[in-house]
Amino acid sequence: MVQLKGQCIISELKSSSKEAVLRELAGVVHDQCTLIDLDTLCQVLTEREQLGSTGVGSGVAIPHGKVPGLKKLLLCFGRSRSGVSFDAVDNRPVHLFVMILSPPGIAGEYLQILARVSRLLKDPTVRNRLLQATDTETILELFNRTESHQQKGASGQVKG
């Protein structure tokens, strides 16, 4: 399963509006995958937001979409300590963003990663630790270790 990579982490977003955050997150992905046009990435994210906000509440947003021409699933994490008005379902500012971009043809894996990210960010302890993390390594370790810990628990193995 896809994991978050260090070059796809923005420890402090510069943007202060919904549209600007989406563009800033898309820019990080564009830097990793220059074959996909930045405007196309932004358009996919904006069109998804028009269907309904991906601000799921508790200071979390999971912007996502399917991008023609993309070869693999990509994750990007962004944090705003000051918070961004994102039309979240609870009308509170969003501090933690996990963007998921997927090729159009892999619906099963796409839904699995969306569910995994949702489960991870529902945990108030994980959210707090992500907000307090002081470096990229800590964010990676929290995100990726927690994911593998959850997978072990889901497979019925004894948690260590």
Give the Cβ contact number of residue 153 at 10 Å: 11
Integer CA distances (angstroms), 97 to 86, 108, 121, in order: 10, 22, 10
Say if CB 63 and CB 99 are below 8 A apart. Answer: yes
Is 64 noted as a catalytic residue in this protein? yes
Say if CB 121 and CB 127 are below 8 A apart. Answer: yes
Cα 127 from Cα 129, distance rounded (Å)? 6
Cα 152 from Cα 113, distance rounded (Å)? 16
CA 71, 22, 135, 124 dihedral sign is negative
Pick the catalytic residue from 30, 64, 95, 149.
64
Say if CB 39 and CB 45 are below 8 A apart. Answer: no
Active site residues: 64
